[in-house]
Structure 1
Amino acid sequence: MHILLDLLLLIPILIFSTVESFVKLLIPKKRKSVSGEIVLITGAGHGIGRLTAYEFAKLKSKLVLWDINKHGIEETAAECRKLGARAHAYVVDCSNREEIYNYAKKVKTEVGDVSILVNNAGVVYTSDLFATQDPQIEKTFEVNVLAHFWTTKAFLPAMMKNNHGHIITVASAGGHTVVPFLLAYCSSKFAAVGFHRALTAEMAALGKNGIKTSCLCPNFINTGFIKNPSTRFIPTLEPEEVVSKLMKGILTEQKMIFVPSSLSVVIVLERIFPERFLNAMRRIINVKFDAVIGFKNKVQ
């Protein structure tokens, strides 16, 4: 009887939450202030990480910038300082757990407690399973998802103590829908999306409603990591457009940020329609990019 009553009580909650979501679409949410927040961005030496750092710098945040590329991270830091922000650059290999923990301690001592963490660092290898070397597969998971665990374990305790913070997971559309010849990458991004969703649920279960989470899932971006990407309907995105949507999502505390937003429709379709239809749809969408195919060598 109690179970039936609980299920019946879900109906008004469903109606209310649906109406609430619709109203939120019509009334733009006020953007929060990040002035004075200590923002750590991994992979900040180039691309999305660099542009995100610039946007936080304009909003008067204090920047902590991590990247494996010393020249790139110093360039980003210098530009952030020109924009009026305090910026601290560290050369960190996000595939190395101990290095992450060591530099996290250094950041706490030299800068303070990080309150906004942007897990952006990522690697991608465009090849089929056989052409992707074992170390490349390991590196993909170390950077694209395991690093998220280590950085979050390092900086989350201070956020939980203050019940204040924001953890951003930079994932991909490839964390929801698969693409041939990006097997390791898609697998790691599925894991990153799962990390975001599980962390969100865990914070709610612990009553830490002051700690926000966001997950960025864009289509192909013109950053040079994937060579000559194209699809039939969705154009390759420019980094500036993606960062604009990311910042809006962070400042309005949006949980899942799809770029373009139409990607959410494609993902829903994948959950509903049969495999034969999905295969036909993939042929029509016609995702293309330069990739190394090692299967032919294996069967010769």
Structure 2
Amino acid sequence: MIEHEIIHTSNVSKRIFNIVQDLAEFLLLFIKILMELIYSAVDKIFPKNFKDICNEVVLITGTGHGIGRELALHYTAFGSTVICVDINQKNNEETVNKAKRLSKGAVHSYTCDVSNRDDVLALANKVKTDIGPITVLVNNVGIMPTHPLDKHTPEEIRRVFDINVFSQFWTLEAFLPQMKEESRGHIICMSSIAGVVGLANLVPYCATKFAVRGMMEALHEELRDGPYKNLIKTTTIYPYMTNTGLCKRPKVKFPSVLGLLDPKEVAKHIIDAHRMNVLETTIPTSLLHINNWSRLLPSNCGIMLKDFIDSGVESDL
């Protein structure tokens, strides 16, 4: 009987200790969150610290036009070594020639179908032999058919996923080991505002951009928990509709507030996010805050807000 009471008392004491320990850990978490909120508020007041990228070796996919081309020009202007990758050799060479005229960083051109795993792995070996290991990977390539789901063919849906999602897995497989060998690197992936909110006429496209968002969040966790914490950074970009030709029939209710973005400005924002080690950002930045806030409200409130903004794309058929 006495032994039973001792065991019971011991179990009660252990439960009390565990509860006190959990409460202490929660209090510590609360203090850390409060300090982070204060730090974030103060950080918005003072000038930002931008890291130097002149010695980076930057590989960008989809540099034949649009945001990819502008990124190549901007990185070259900073003095980075830029590797331009596109399936369209002619357009890619035009980008490289423009970049070389800046007389800044070295620029290289490679033709590759990044949706083909074997081609990407071969590209990685060639780049490492020709130039050396890369330190920055910008997964920019993407396509965007815009019509209702029942009008998409199975081949078209597969193609959207091959280019928008699987190509990013292949480039990570090919180039992340190089960053690990160097114990430094930065991975920048293009999602979209369509990876934050669902939009009509973009069901497969939205699915791919949500996939990129999940991929990057999970990759960040893997890198954060492993030996490369603070050595390999990740940044996910969610641009609003950009005037690159992908949006064939954009629908904009407030063009003076939310008009089509200029690819040059988008590229500048992306490089700023890179240089500040931003984890994720929309372009414009306010859209991420609006989305996070609206997700706290009942779902119908978010739908009403979306109807009020009334932006998206019309069918291209």
Aligned counterpart, 1:24: 43
Q: In the TM superposition, what is the alpha-carbon distance from 1:267 to its structure 2 partner?
A: 1.0
Contact 2:252–2:310 (CA under 8 A) maintained in structure 1: yes
Q: Which of 235, 242, 246 is 2:259 aligned to?
A: 235
Alpha-carbon distance in 2 for matches of 1:221, 1:180: 17
The alignment partner of 1:130 has SS state of helix
Matched, 1:210 2:227: no
Deviation for aligned residue 1:288: 4.2
CA–CA distance in 2 between the matches of 1:47 and 1:288?
Answer: 19
2: distance between equivalents of 1:232 and 1:17? 36
| Unmatched tracts of structure 1, length 5 or more | 294-300
C-alpha distance in structure 1 between counterparts of 2:158 and 2:306, whole Å: 28
- Give ranges in structure 2 of 5+ residues lacking alignment: 1-17
Query: CA RMSD for the aligned pairs?
Result: 1.4
In structure 2, the partner of 1:127 is 147
1:167 is the counterpart of 2:187: yes
Contact kept, 8 Å, 1:230 with 1:236, in 2: the verdict is no
Q: Which residues of 2 match residues 4-153 of structure 1 at below 5 A?
A: 4-84=23-103, 85-153=105-173
| Alignment correspondent of 1:296 | none
SS of aligned partner of 1:12: helix
Counterpart contact for 2:72–2:95, Cα < 8 Å? yes
- Contact 2:200-2:313 within 8 A present in 1 as well: no
Identity over the aligned pairs, expressed in percent?
33
* 2:275 is aligned with 1:248: no
Alignment of 1:225 onto 2:246: yes
Q: What CA distance in whole angstroms lies between the structure 2 residues aligned with 1:180 and 1:269?
A: 22
CA distance in structure 1 between the partners assigned to 2:305 and 2:23 by the alignment: 40
Q: For the pair shown, which has the larger CA radius of gyration, 1 or 2?
A: 2
Residue 71 of structure 1, CA deviation: 0.6
Whole-Å separation in 2 of the counterparts to 1:273 and 1:97: 42
- Secondary structure class of the residue paired with 1:3: helix
Q: Is the 8 A contact 1:215 1:257 kept in 2?
A: yes
Letter in 2 for 1:219: Y
Counterparts of residues 251-290 of structure 1 (less than 5 Å): 251-290=275-314
Alignment coverage as a number of residue pairs: 293
Q: Distance in 1 between matches of 2:94 and 2:200?
A: 35
| TM-score for the superposition, normalised by structure 2 | 0.89
1:232 match: secondary structure: coil
SS in structure 1 at match of 2:251 = coil
Q: Aligned equivalents of 1:275 and 1:8: distance in 2?
A: 31
Is the 8 Å Cα contact of residues 45 and 67 (structure 1) preserved in structure 2? Answer: yes
Secondary structure of 1:215 counterpart: strand
Would you say 1:197 and 2:217 are equivalent positions? yes
